A and B are shown apart, each in its own frame.
Chain A
Amino acid sequence: MNVLGELALWIALPVSLWGMVLGFAGGRKQRGDLTLSAERSVYAVFFLTIIASLGVVDAFLNDRFEYWYVANYSSRNLATYFKVSGLWAGQRGSLLFWLLLLSLFATIAVWSNRRKNREFMPYVAGTLLTITSFFLVVLLFADVNPFETLGFTPADGAGLNPQLQNYWMTIHPPTLYLGFTAFTIPFAFAVAALLNGRLDSRWIVLTRKWTLLSWFFLANGIIFGMRWAYEELGWGGYWFWDPVENASLLPWLTATAFLHSIQIQENRGMLKVWNMGLVILTFLLTIFATFLTRSGLIESVHTFAQELKIAFIFLGFMASILMAGLVLVLYRLPKLKSENQIESFVSREAAFVFNNLILLGATFAVMWGTLLPLISEGFTGQEITVGPPFFNRVNLPIGLALLALMGIGPVIAWRRASKKNLKKNFLWPLVVGVVTAAGLWAAGARHGMALLTFGISAFVMAIIVVEFWKGTRARARIEGEGVVKAFYHLVARNRRRWGGYIVHVGVVFVFTAFAAAPWYGEFLQTLEPGETMTAESPLGHTYEMTYEGISTNIRDPDKNLQWQATALVSVRRDGEPLGTFTTEKRRYIRPEAQIVTEVGIKSFPMEDLYIILADADLDRILQGDAGGQAVTFNVLVKPLIAWIWAGGLIITLGSLISMWPSAGAVRAPTAARGRGTTGAEPLPAGD
Chain B
Amino acid sequence: MKQNGRFMVGLVGVAAVVTYLVWTGVSDTMVYYLTPSELIAKIDEDPTFREVGVKVSGRLVVDSHEQTPGSLEHHFVVHDLEDESVTFPVVYRRPLPDTFTDSPEMVVDVVLEGRFNDAGVFEAQTVLTKCGSRYEATPEELRT
Contact = CB atoms under 8 A, between A and B. Distances in A.
Q: Determine whether A and B are in direct contact in the complex, meaning some CB atoms lie less than 8 angstroms apart.
A: yes
A449 interface: no
Contacts of B132: 301-302
A345 interface: yes
A266 interface: no
B29 A158 contact: no
Contacts of A302: 132-133
B55 interface: yes
B3 A341 contact: yes
Contacts of B72: 524, 526, 614-615, 632
Interface string B107-144: 00001010000000000000010111111110101110
Contact of A358 (B7, B14, B111, B135): B14
A301 B133 contact: yes
Nearest to A373: B33
B25 A390 contact: yes
Contacts of B143: 152, 154
A364 B22 contact: yes
A361 B7 contact: no
Interface in B26-59: 26, 28-34, 55
Nearest to A301: B132
Contacts of A324: none
Nearest to A390: B29
A378 to B, nearest CB: 13
Contact of B29 (A154, A163, A389): A389
B13 to A, nearest CB: 9
Contact of B98 (A234, A341, A632): A234
Interface in A278-319: 299, 301-302, 304-305
Interface string A351-369: 0011001100100110011
Contacts of B22: 364-365, 368-369, 394
A157 B131 CA distance: 18
A188 interface: no
A152 B142 CA distance: 10
B95 interface: yes
Contacts of B31: 384-387
Interface string A526-543: 100000000000000000
Contacts of B30: 372, 384-386, 390
Contact of A299 (B130, B131, B135, B141): B130
A72 B142 CA distance: 8
A341 B128 CA distance: 53
A657 interface: no
Nearest to B9: A345
A369 B131 CA distance: 23
B32 A383 contact: yes
Contact of B14 (A151, A361, A526): A361
Nearest to A156: B142
A359 B96 CA distance: 37
Contacts of A596: 98
Contact of B131 (A154, A344, A593, A615): A593
Given A368-B22, A593-B106, A387 B7 contact: no
Contact of A593 (B33, B130, B135, B142): B135
Contacts of A301: 128, 132-133
A522 to B, nearest CB: 10
A73 interface: yes
B32 A386 contact: no
A413 interface: no
Contacts of A597: 98
A585 interface: yes
A386 B26 contact: yes
Nearest to A363: B18
A297 to B, nearest CB: 14
Interface string A477-509: 000000000000000000000000000000000
Most chain A CB neighbours (cut-off 10 Å) among B22, B101, B135: B135
Contacts of A387: 29, 31, 113
Contacts of A382: 32
Given A344-B3, A364-B18, A614-B72, 19 more contacts: A72-B136, A90-B136, A151-B139, A157-B142, A299-B130, A301-B128, A302-B133, A342-B3, A345-B7, A345-B10, A365-B22, A372-B30, A385-B33, A394-B21, A585-B98, A593-B101, A593-B135, A594-B101, A595-B101
11 contacts: A72-B135, A72-B136, A150-B142, A152-B143, A161-B135, A164-B133, A358-B14, A385-B30, A389-B29, A615-B96, A630-B70
Interface of A: 65, 68, 71-73, 90, 150-152, 154, 157-161, 163-164, 234, 299, 301-302, 304-305, 341-345, 350, 353-354, 357-358, 361, 364-365, 368-369, 372-373, 382-387, 389-390, 393-394, 397-398, 524, 526, 585, 591, 593-597, 612, 614-615, 630, 632, 634
| Nearest 3 A/B pairs, CB to CB | A361-B18, A614-B95, A383-B33
